[in-house]
């Protein structure tokens, strides 16, 4: 290889990375720009790249009318259901791996639950929720998201826990830890990367849910995806509101993914190595 070729290769890679980054970041930039544009700028042609004077009126409207609550509702339902799914899922996965609960096939059966198209169960769940009075409640959505994420959490955590040498746990038990303490002091530190990666995905699944949020909420716990789609009217579309609401919805995701990036990458590659 000629000496200058490494330089070129580096430049090429860098260039490619920039192109890809721009491709992925552009929509977010565009949303941010729309949310700050004046109505004329939104429809201007040629397009306005940067609003002349940032216009915060859409944000003010969202907070004044209470539309921004939808983001809070999403945070609560996705956040709490993620915490619950991670706790129960990890304990269930531990039981499946170490106590062989359900033999060899339980884990497969559990993950198969995940393969049901949600629309198939939407109607029965709606009827059930009407019966139980869970329509338009936090409890209802949190329970549903927890249930829907559990198979995924169990499946992922099962894989990570299987990779822990059992000697590590047994050594800790001889040293004086109870089973629960072993899970806290040995299992969790060992699976930390996978645990957080799984939690992030679980959170995203709940955050992105549209179908159930649409049919199971009315006004009190409307979530962000439902709220934002409400702005696409049949007569008129409220672009600046869409932009502003999207920014409010994307921000928590960016914070979560940004802080957990290290774990997500490691967690996913752990899965890859294991096959």
Rule CB under 8 A: say whether 177 interacts with another protein.
yes
Kindly tell me which of 33 and 186 has the beta carbon lying closer to another protein. 186
Please name which of 249, 247, 251 lies closest in space to residue 34, comparing C-alpha atoms. Answer: 247
Rule CB under 8 A: say whether 181 interacts with another protein.
yes
Q: Taking the complex as a whole, how short is the minimal distance between the CB of residue 198 and another protein, in angstroms?
A: 18
The token pair that represents 100 in the structure block: 């062989």
Kindly tell me which of 114 and 185 has the beta carbon lying closer to another protein. 185
Among residues 174, 234, 258, 273, the one that binds another protein under rule CB under 8 A: 174
* Rounded Cα–Cα distance for residues 158 and 94 (Å): 7
Q: Taking the complex as a whole, how short is the minimal distance between the CB of residue 81 and another protein, in angstroms?
A: 28
Contacts 24+ apart (CB under 8 A), 51-56: 55/240
Q: Taking the complex as a whole, how short is the minimal distance between the CB of residue 90 and another protein, in angstroms?
A: 17
* Rounded Cα–Cα distance for residues 198 and 271 (Å): 11
Rule CB under 8 A: say whether 269 interacts with another protein.
no
Among residues 5, 23, 99, 167, the one that binds another protein under rule CB under 8 A: 167
Which bin fits 136, alpha (ψ -120 to 50), beta or left (φ > 0)? left
Among residues 175, 184, 237, 254, the one that binds another protein under rule CB under 8 A: 175
Among residues 135, 153, 172, 270, the one that binds another protein under rule CB under 8 A: 172
DSSP string, 49-77: SS-SS---HHHHHHHHHTTTHHHHHHHHH
Rule CB under 8 A: say whether 171 interacts with another protein.
yes
The token pair that represents 203 in the structure block: 């959170």
Rule CB under 8 A: say whether 186 interacts with another protein.
yes
Kindly tell me which of 171 and 261 has the beta carbon lying closer to another protein. 171
The token pair that represents 19 in the structure block: 């192109």
Kindly tell me which of 16 and 173 has the beta carbon lying closer to another protein. 173
Number of helical (H) and strand (E) elements in the chain, helices listed first: 13, 0
Write the CA distances from 176 to 169, 170, 180, 182, 236, integer angstroms: 11, 10, 12, 9, 67
Rule CB under 8 A: say whether 104 interacts with another protein.
no
Interface positions with another protein (CB under 8 A): 165, 167-168, 170-178, 181, 185-186, 189-190, 192
């Amino acid at each position: 290889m000629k000496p200058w070729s490494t330089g070129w290769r580096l430049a090429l890679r860098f260039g490619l990375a920039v192109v890809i980054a721009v491709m992925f970041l552009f929509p977010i930039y565009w949303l941010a720009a729309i949310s700050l544009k004046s109505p004329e700028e939104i429809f201007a042609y040629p397009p306005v790249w940067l609003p002349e004077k940032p216009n915060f009126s859409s944000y003010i409207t969202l907070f004044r009318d209470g539309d921004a609550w939808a983001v809070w509702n999403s945070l609560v339902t996705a956040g709490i259901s993620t915490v619950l799914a991670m706790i129960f899922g990890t304990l269930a996965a531990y039981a499946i791996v170490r106590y062989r609960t359900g033999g060899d096939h339980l884990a497969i059966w559990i993950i198969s639950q995940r393969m049901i198209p949600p629309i198939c169960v939407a109607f029965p769940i709606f009827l059930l929720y009407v019966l139980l009075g869970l329509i338009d409640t936090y409890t209802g959505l949190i329970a549903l998201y927890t249930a829907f994420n559990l198979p995924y959490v169990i499946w992922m955590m099962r894989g990570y826990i299987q990779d822990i040498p059992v000697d590590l746990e047994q050594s800790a038990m001889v040293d004086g830890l109870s089973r629960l303490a072993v899970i806290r002091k040995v299992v969790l530190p060992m699976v930390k990367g996978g645990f957080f990666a799984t939690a992030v995905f679980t959170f995203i699944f709940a955050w992105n849910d549209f179908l159930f949020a649409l049919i199971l909420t009315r006004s009190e716990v409307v979530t962000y995806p439902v709220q934002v789609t409400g702005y696409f009217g049949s007569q008129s579309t409220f672009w600046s509101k869409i932009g502003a609401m999207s920014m409010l919805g994307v921000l928590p995701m960016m914070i979560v993914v940004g802080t957990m990036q290290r774990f997500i990458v490691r967690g996913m590659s752990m899965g890859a190595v294991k096959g």
